[in-house]
Structure 1
Amino acid sequence: MSEGNTDDSLSALLDAPLSPLRTEWKVPERVEALAAARAFDHPDRYWEWVAQQMRWSQPWTSVRSGEIDDFRFFEGGKINVADNCVDRWAENPRTAERAAVVWEGEPGDTRTLTYADLAVEVNRLAAGLAGLGVAKGDVVAIYMPNLVEAFTAIHACNRIGAIYTVLFSGFGEDAVASRIEAARAKVVVVADAIYRRGKPIELLSTLRGARSRTPSVEAVVVVDRTGNDVPLQDGEHRYADVCESGAAGIDAVPLDPNEPSFLIFTSGTESRPKGVVHSVGGFLLGTWANAQWQVGYEPGDVYWVAADVGWLTFPIQAVVGGLAGGMTICCFEGALDTPTTARFYEICEKHAVTKVLCAPTLIRMLRKFGDDLAAAHPLGLKLITAQGEPLDGDTFAWATETFDVPVVNAYGQTETGSTWTYPVYGAEDLKAGSVGTPVPGHAFEILDEDGKPVPPGVKGHLVLTAAFPTLARTVWDDHARYIETYFSRYPGKYATNDEAVLDHDGHLWVLGRADDVINVAAHRISTMEIEAVVTAHPGVVEAAVVGVPDATKGTVPIAFVTLAGGADETAVRSEVDTRVTAEIGGYARLAAIHVTSAMPKTRTGKTMRRLLRDVVVHGEPSGDTSAMEDPAALDAVTAVVKGA
């Protein structure tokens, strides 16, 4: 990074052509609104405008105080998230009967709640939780999949000022226990079971197994997902009964916008779960703006957030940001290849979906299923937006051509609380694989190892330089860890710990984690750069590259790939090997290419590359596997590596 020269491997990215937004994709109202938002002379003026779009219980006295490592927004003001996401739409005769949540379970059962319906159930549940002793500042853990009750439980907590934390429904007993213990949760809302790949998976029994290690839990609220009327134990209450007990309702509690709203625990190799804390008003305002620019409500829209409620994207785009914008949210419980590969298309058709948000993994999966399946299900989509992992150019092009829609690639992190750079839907030009330019209210730099800004075309460390409302405020019970992790390397700037490069059109390319940069015989290279070359082969649907120790070179890259149907494995291996050497250089030659039928992923679709590295280096995982969706995928990878 210090040479000031563009790596040959970046040339394809930096030379990617800018694709002007097609006339039929342009939305004039959004072009005008974006121009007005960008015209504010200071980020604080922009955030003040955002705040004016919300309903406040008490006006604020100042927009912002402090700097990026210690800031507050809208001091003196009082606001409630549930009031803004639910009540204000339910109270308006023009929007009360608009569908808020359109839900489908994996077995095919459905349920739709209007904003009026949602307001009633949220109010009753909030009062019921208060009856169980939940008060402002208490923590409620929500352990369930994509159910309507996930929406109601989150907003019931918002209504009374409780702090919620959503536990991934794929977590096992140890992961559940450690997170509840760390959060000091007073109540847990749990589904008795979920449906996944055609079978029920019990959650209540997992929670019961964890209870001996969670002394803070005083009550459990059980959602009867299966209809089996599971017998309850001491301290357990049926969701329906809790709602009935709260039939009289309860007033929304006005809250300081800087108070904690929820915790989200990051997964990884660390022994201690890291609970990232987001604020009440900050998260509400920032996610409203995020959903507004990335997707935007248009009359008749049905917005499918094809993500798990345990992935922060779901609260950002669906539960908080989406509902704050008055959107109709489509929500699906199960796996998108169950019972057949047509399930994605069938859901879009059945619920008249117009906009989809997903991880790039889903688009690659659809591409793998083939053009014939897509042609058999023509969809009325207006937008596909992807985030969570880098989106390769070939997948971008396939989705654009197949669905005839703009594909918006966005970037953000759990800690940023929203995606903050992407081409604004209906207003800005696209570039295959890039994450566009920062939306209003955000500022960044790309720095070298010494903390000095690098010019366009040179990769470096991506940092954020201005405070914004959705940025995490602390780490639960460990503020020193928050400062050390995000602000110690570049004081006064938030370190994303990702590498990035700015091209000459002003578009940003995020190259992946800085710790995924490998040093091969003194050559530094991002594994994402190698992946971009590998996935460019027409026979490769998906690739993951990891660095592993080598006695001679220090580190060497190894690729894991899944192939398109009918691809010749021998030919793909040879051609991929040749391409990597030709396009990047001999130092990047792949030490091995493992062809696998599946890769270990989180429920959100992120490939768990550290597990791939563990299998090669140690023969088995050495870190946390609690976020992995399908253990069979790791078994498949292990068999391939051992066979090689």
Structure 2
Amino acid sequence: MTTASESLPDLPPMVRESHLVAPSLPPSSRIPVRSEAEFRALYQRSLTDLGGYWQEVANTFEWMDGWPASVALGGDFSTGYRFFDGATMNVSVNCIDRHARTSPSKIALYWIGEDGSERSWTYEELLDTTARLAQALANLGVTKGDRVAIFLPNLLETFAAVHACFRIGAIYNIIFSGFSANALAERIVDTTAKVVITADESMRRGRPVALKATLDSVLDRLPSIEHVVVVRRTGAAVAMKAGRDHYFDELLAATPDRADPVAIEANEPAFIIYTSGTTAKPKGLVHTGTGFLVGTYHDVLWSLDLGPEDIYWCTADTGWLTFPIFELVGGLAHGATMVAYEGALDYPTPDRAYELIEKLKITKIFTAPTFLRMLARNGDALAKTHDLSSLKLIGLVGEPLDAKTWNWVHDNVGAPNMEINNTYGQSETGSAWTSSAVGITSSKPGSCGLALPGHAWEIVDESGEPVSVGKVGYLLITQPFPTMFRTIWNDPERYRAQYFTRFGADRYDTADAALVDGDGHIWVVGRVDGVINVAGHRLSTMEMESALLSVPGVAEAAVVGVDDETKGQVPVAFVSLSASASDVTVDALKAKITEEIGAIARPKQVYLLSTMPRTRSGKIVRRLLKELVVDGHTSGDTTGLEDPEVLAKLEAELG
């Protein structure tokens, strides 16, 4: 098939050589259009009345008062904006209660522990646990607007903890369970949380990870904490202070009553999620509950077409916003059966993920491209040892999926007509707002698809003027949508300075570099600082990584720009190889980038590594690789790494 973008010679090769792939699945009755032409028409209509469009989406839910809102969207970025002003609802009711009424015995959650432990809750059990925990928190003195820190891994109780806070109007902050004691303390100090919900331990790669002990080590620095609730995950003995510490099960046993849901105004804050930086203080992004529910429901509808019949697994850790978007809130809102897995996706055996798909008959997965590259690295034979025919769709976010891995997954994983959908979003946006519409729009290996209805955007140059098709520029959001964060906790000036300065107060600056091709597909090519300037030529690191990943035997690739006296910057590449690779050389890798992009992009150095530093959400942490080659050590934030011990190994390999 010839695409419009193939007639544009100025496009980068990875874009020019990509091709449209028709949807594998048939259109669903849940999605309000039946063709790509209808989708594009709906998108344009949605921009003419954004408030009205989002009010139509919000009609899906149960509201308590003030609905329909007299003003669906008021204000804008520069003056402050409000969706559904004055209307009230409760998120937990819409994610749990309404499904428990119609399907009380339906399995809501399957939980699988890394050690093989298994548990499940029906929607009625999820409702009962959530509502009684909400009452228990209220009995401990938690009221609307109080902050609750949730320091938990992927457990059934994590779902109950989040929705208990939604139920009584507490503002929660999920803190990644792999964080250090200092990172934990920093976030609790910032929010002045009144209660922490944690576990005795979690399991990671066969080893217990102490959570309660980590919290205890900094509690003397946390004067705001009045109570600690402890889930018995492993049953390990932990220190418990009478009057302050409470076991989760004992607290619920002593609380027979269910808390009634509190009416929450649509623009009230519901949770804080922190983003880590290199050296700066992490930012506490503030999201509303109502906007998050409406927008994530919409996101999951279009990008996953999730329904009550699905067995669905989001592989992310609950500490990263991907999990709340696509499972804790956006997933539960659709009434499907969710899968929550504790631990590493390739432990205790490389085919652990395949085992779960086969065992539970999982139909849809949302994950990161790194997960798929891990599967590809393990080869075709391993995939063929399991029945994966139940799997109909894989959705992705985090970083672009290269064409080689896309094709390998398409040929080796899931049902013959399985659909692959790469999306794009940020913690700040609260949803993946570019995507394919499942069963409706064509996809392209490597692209992030089309903007979903209700989302206005543009790509501009440094002066703020729109760029032409195929040109890399700054990706901006030009109108608010419900899932967008509203401010930075305790730091509104930083909110304005960081996101609404470079291109004015009326456009949100994503700090991501992107282009749009001739078919209207958006390609996010990396952070703005990931577009490097080599002797006056702006080059995308993603494009170089894509070229490296096309080499047989290359499993993962990362490219960074380092300072150079002559050229300003030069690319440096890092590559890990698949288990079967034996003849990949540094010269061949440099030659491939030269062949695909040009001599200007030839890396100064290529390092062959045994692994990469990754977050638990699957992103390669490129800035740490840059620190290792430039400084010989790392100095930035490493608390979110999937395996912090990997840094010492990489330092030795790069030394």
- Secondary structure (helix, strand or coil) at the match of 1:317 reads helix
Q: Of the candidates 313, 321, 324, which is equivalent to residue 333 of structure 2?
A: 324
Deviations 1:500-525 (A, max 9, x none): 01000111100000011212222221
Is the aligned partner of 1:545 residue 2:554? no
Deviations 1:261-312 (A, max 9, x none): 1000101213322100000211110011111111122352101001100110
- The aligned counterpart of 1:304 is 313
Measure the CA separation in 2 of the matches of 1:428 and 1:521. 39
Residue pair 1:221, 1:237 contacting (<8 A) in 2 also: yes
Is the aligned partner of 1:600 residue 2:613? yes
Q: Of the candidates 258, 262, 281, which is equivalent to residue 267 of structure 2?
A: 258
- The aligned counterpart of 2:503 is 490
- The aligned counterpart of 2:84 is 74
Moved more, 421-430 or 119-128: 421-430
Residue pair 2:346, 2:352 contacting (<8 A) in 1 also: yes
- The aligned counterpart of 2:3 is none
Unaligned runs of 5+ in 2: 1-6
- The aligned counterpart of 2:140 is 132
Moved more, 521-530 or 510-519: 521-530
Q: Give the deviation of 1:45 after TM superposition.
A: 2.0
- Secondary structure (helix, strand or coil) at the match of 2:428 reads coil
1:152-163 aligned within 5 A: 152-163=160-171
- Secondary structure (helix, strand or coil) at the match of 2:295 reads helix
Q: Of the candidates 15, 19, 22, which is equivalent to residue 20 of structure 1?
A: 22
Measure the CA separation in 2 of the matches of 1:61 and 1:28. 30
Is the aligned partner of 1:53 residue 2:63? no
Moved more, 401-410 or 165-174: 401-410
Deviations 1:1-31 (A, max 9, x none): xxxx988671331342111224x54446536
- Secondary structure (helix, strand or coil) at the match of 2:240 reads coil
Q: Of the candidates 191, 198, 205, which is equivalent to residue 206 of structure 2?
A: 198
Q: Give the deviation of 1:567 after TM superposition.
A: 1.6
1:356-505 aligned within 5 A: 356-379=365-388, 380-403=390-413, 404=416, 405-491=418-504, 492-505=506-519
Moved more, 241-250 or 382-391: 241-250
Q: Give the deviation of 1:32 after TM superposition.
A: 2.9
Q: Of the candidates 357, 364, 367, which is equivalent to residue 355 of structure 1?
A: 364
Residue pair 1:596, 1:636 contacting (<8 A) in 2 also: no
Q: Give the deviation of 1:42 after TM superposition.
A: 2.3
1:562-577 aligned within 5 A: 562-569=576-583, 571-577=584-590
Deviations 1:70-119 (A, max 9, x none): 10000120110111111111122xx2222111111111111111111100
- Secondary structure (helix, strand or coil) at the match of 2:218 reads helix
Q: Of the candidates 102, 115, 121, which is equivalent to residue 107 of structure 1?
A: 115
Measure the CA separation in 2 of the matches of 1:229 and 1:628. 27
Residue pair 1:539, 1:572 contacting (<8 A) in 2 also: no
- Secondary structure (helix, strand or coil) at the match of 1:509 reads strand
- Secondary structure (helix, strand or coil) at the match of 1:321 reads coil
- The aligned counterpart of 2:528 is 514
Q: Of the candidates 125, 128, 131, which is equivalent to residue 123 of structure 1?
A: 131
Moved more, 11-20 or 584-593: 11-20
Measure the CA separation in 1 of the matches of 2:34 and 2:246. 48
Measure the CA separation in 1 of the matches of 2:647 and 2:144. 42
Distance 1:153 1:33, change over 3 A: farther
Measure the CA separation in 1 of the matches of 2:58 and 2:468. 35
Is the aligned partner of 1:241 residue 2:255? no
1:604-615 aligned within 5 A: 604-615=617-628
Q: Aligned partner of 2:18: which letter?
A: A
Q: Aligned partner of 2:599: which letter?
A: G
Q: Aligned partner of 2:59: which letter?
A: Q
Q: Aligned partner of 1:278: which letter?
A: H
- The aligned counterpart of 1:226 is 234
Deviations 1:391-413 (A, max 9, x none): 11111111112123110000000
Residue pair 1:182, 1:273 contacting (<8 A) in 2 also: no
Is the aligned partner of 1:343 residue 2:344? no
- Secondary structure (helix, strand or coil) at the match of 1:339 reads coil
- Secondary structure (helix, strand or coil) at the match of 2:653 reads helix
Distance 1:209 1:452, change over 3 A: same
- Secondary structure (helix, strand or coil) at the match of 2:450 reads coil
Q: Give the deviation of 1:593 after TM superposition.
A: 1.0
Distance 1:7 1:153, change over 3 A: farther
- Secondary structure (helix, strand or coil) at the match of 1:91 reads helix
Deviations 1:346-397 (A, max 9, x none): 1111111000010000000000011001111121111001101111111111
Q: Aligned partner of 2:158: which letter?
A: A
- Secondary structure (helix, strand or coil) at the match of 2:162 reads helix
Measure the CA separation in 2 of the matches of 1:245 and 1:537. 60
Q: Give the deviation of 1:321 after TM superposition.
A: 0.7
Distance 1:31 1:18, change over 3 A: farther
1:207-222 aligned within 5 A: 207-222=215-230
Measure the CA separation in 1 of the matches of 2:471 and 2:19. 18
Q: Aligned partner of 1:127: which letter?
A: Q
Distance 1:25 1:574, change over 3 A: farther
Q: Of the candidates 514, 520, 537, which is equivalent to residue 523 of structure 1?
A: 537
- Secondary structure (helix, strand or coil) at the match of 1:56 reads coil
Moved more, 485-494 or 307-316: 485-494
Moved more, 170-179 or 543-552: 543-552
Measure the CA separation in 2 of the matches of 1:551 and 1:6. 34
The two structures, once aligned, show a CA RMSD in angstroms of 1.7
Is the aligned partner of 1:86 residue 2:93? no
- The aligned counterpart of 1:279 is 288
Residue pair 1:358, 1:386 contacting (<8 A) in 2 also: yes
Is the aligned partner of 1:189 residue 2:197? yes
1:26-41 aligned within 5 A: 26-27=27-28, 30=31, 32=33, 35=38, 38=43, 39-40=45-46, 41=48
Is the aligned partner of 1:624 residue 2:637? yes
Residue pair 2:27, 2:34 contacting (<8 A) in 1 also: no
Measure the CA separation in 1 of the matches of 2:541 and 2:216. 42
Measure the CA separation in 1 of the matches of 2:394 and 2:359. 18
Measure the CA separation in 2 of the matches of 1:539 and 1:639. 23
Measure the CA separation in 2 of the matches of 1:298 and 1:520. 48
Residue pair 2:13, 2:596 contacting (<8 A) in 1 also: no
Residue pair 1:9, 1:584 contacting (<8 A) in 2 also: no
Distance 1:237 1:28, change over 3 A: closer
Measure the CA separation in 1 of the matches of 2:193 and 2:15. 46
Q: Give the deviation of 1:246 after TM superposition.
A: 2.5
- Secondary structure (helix, strand or coil) at the match of 1:316 reads helix
Residue pair 1:385, 1:408 contacting (<8 A) in 2 also: yes
Is the aligned partner of 1:293 residue 2:302? yes
Distance 1:271 1:458, change over 3 A: closer
Moved more, 468-477 or 207-216: 207-216
Unaligned runs of 5+ in 1: none
Measure the CA separation in 1 of the matches of 2:34 and 2:276. 38
Deviations 1:40-66 (A, max 9, x none): 552222201111001000122320100
Residue pair 2:178, 2:640 contacting (<8 A) in 1 also: yes
- The aligned counterpart of 1:44 is 51
Q: Give the deviation of 1:579 after TM superposition.
A: 1.3
- Secondary structure (helix, strand or coil) at the match of 1:57 reads coil
- Secondary structure (helix, strand or coil) at the match of 1:462 reads strand
Distance 1:495 1:6, change over 3 A: farther
- Secondary structure (helix, strand or coil) at the match of 2:546 reads helix
Q: How high is the sequence identity, in percent, across the aligned residues? A: 45
Measure the CA separation in 2 of the matches of 1:33 and 1:283. 26
Residue pair 2:30, 2:305 contacting (<8 A) in 1 also: no
